[in-house]
Amino acid sequence: MNTELPPNPDLLKAPKFHRETQTAVMRRSEQQSTRDSGTQMVREDVSLDHIEDRTIVPGPYFDSEQLSTLRLQKAIRIQAVARGWFCRTLAWQYRDERDTADREREEAAIDAQRVADAKRAEEIERRMHPRAPEDFEVLYSELEAWRLQETQKINESEMSTSERKVALAQLLNKEVKLLQTIDRLKLSAGTENKEDKVRKKLETLAASKKWGMSDGSLKEVDTPFTVRARELMELYNGLSLSTLTVDERLDVLLHVKWTVKEFDCRLTRDLVDLIDREADMINRGRPESSLEGLRKRVQTLFLHFMETPEFNPEAARLEKVPRDFNARPYVKPIMNDFLQTK
């Protein structure tokens, strides 16, 4: 029940136009009055509604001893449930730790097996396709160990002198064949290593510059020198391809010719002569097998052209000591005929 307050007599006065009178202070209050209730007993002259009536029957008397016994039983029950929950939680923890340890052990075994397989595959690859000097040292040492073992077997066997000499001669022939095989692998590895070295060198020259920004990041920037090195690298890769058609090969040779003719020296003149010779032989229908040596010379001279700083400015980064330009007559510019006569 809400009781409204009487109106404030100050608000009924004439308004005054300033801050204090324009702001009215409002108050709200609530009041609850006493609620009366009563009970009507059953009478003969009064009709009452007994639909919602309930009959309450008192139970047996519950004394303080019974209350203490009930509290003790409930406390014991709570303690049993709590201890069971603690034990189950600890068992779950131990089970998780066991599963984690088993999983880590299996993963470690799988990783160890993977490392062992990779190492074994690497050792097999080193013996089947050796590339580094260490690989050939392993082959030579294993060959020497095999020779000593076979020689010991022959010497310890019950053979006559003539049979022992024949066996040693056969062993020597096997050793010679194996040495020849290792030498062929060494030549092949030298060629592959040289090609990889050249490829990495050209990629280094054609790589974009990395400039540090104010925020600490690196920004890749192409300069005219890197663009020039990248164009030369693409031409060199075109010369290295052996799957080009006749038209594609002639197009690559034409681009290389006009690239090197920007400079006039003995190197560029020799390179242009070789390119013209190859183009003429291609137009005559010569087989590709007869052009391998000529193409190799063209590729080698163009690589020399790319490694010259005067023609490829990025190549100067690979020179530890700058070379004198006049001390290299092969790349020194050639004066024209008029200046030579003067």
Give residue 85's pLDDT: 95
Asked if residue 339 has pLDDT above 80, the reply is no
Give the structural domain span for 80: 73-122
Confidence (pLDDT) at 341: 39
Q: What is the mean pLDDT of residues 249-260?
A: 89
CB-CB contact of 239 with 252 (8 Å): yes
**pLDDT tens per residue, range 281-314:** 888 888 888 888 888 998 888 888 888 888 888 8
Radius of gyration of the chain (CA): 51
Q: What number is the average pLDDT over the span 237-241?
A: 86
Pair (165, 240) in one structural domain: no
Query: Is residue 322 pLDDT above 70, yes or no?
Result: no
Does residue 25 sit within a domain?
A: no
Does residue 13 sit within a domain? no
State the pTM of this model: 0.56
- Do 112 and 164 lie in one domain? The reply is no
List the single range of 44-48, 108-112, 118-122 with lowest mean pLDDT: 44-48
Question: Does one domain contain both 235 and 140?
Answer: no
Neighbouring C-alpha atoms within 13 Å toward the C-beta of 313: 6
- Strand boundaries in 230-270, DSSP class E: none
User: With contact defined as beta carbons under 8 Å apart, do 236 and 300 qualify?
Assistant: no
Q: Which residue has the higher pLDDT, 284 or 342?
A: 284
Supply the pLDDT for residue 288.
Answer: 82
Once rounded to an integer, what is the mean pLDDT over residues 40-60? 83
Residue 277 has pLDDT above 50, yes or no: yes
Residues 96 and 174 in one domain: no
> Which of 282 and 68 is assigned the larger pLDDT?
68
Over range 51-56, report the average pLDDT: 84
In a domain, 237, yes or no: yes
Asked whether residue 113 falls in the same domain as residue 139, the answer is no
Residues 99 and 150 grouped into a single domain: no
- 252 with 315, same domain: the answer is yes
pLDDT at position 69 = 95
Which pLDDT score, from 0 to 100, does residue 342 have?
40
Tokens representing residue 4 in the block: 């409204």
Lowest mean pLDDT among 66-75, 155-164, 173-182: 155-164
* Comparison of pLDDT for 315 and 19, the residue scoring more: 315
Do 312 and 205 touch, CB atoms closer than 8 A?
A: yes
pLDDT at 333: 73
Domain shared by 232 and 335, yes or no: yes
Tell me, what's the pLDDT at 338?
Answer: 35
Long-range contacts of the stretch 256-259 (C-beta < 8 A, 24+): 256/298, 256/302, 259/231, 259/232, 259/235
46 in any annotated domain: no
Domain count for the chain, please give it: 3
Average pLDDT, the chain: 83
Show which of 140, 174, 190 is a domain's final residue: 190
Which is more confidently placed, 105 or 59? 105
Residues 233 and 326 in one domain: yes
Tens digits of per-residue pLDDT, 129-155? 888 888 888 888 888 898 899 888 888
Residue 274 and residue 266: Cα distance in Å, rounded? 12
Q: Are residues 137 and 117 in the same domain?
A: no
Crossing angle between the packed helical segments 161-206 and 133-156, to the nearest 10 degrees: 170
Q: Which pLDDT value is given to residue 79?
A: 96
Q: Examine the domain organization and report whether 254 and 317 are in the same domain.
A: yes
Co-location of 302 and 324 in the same domain: yes
Q: Which among 122, 131, 134 is positioned nearest to 186, based on CA atoms? A: 131
Q: Which two tokens stand for residue 335?
A: 């004066």
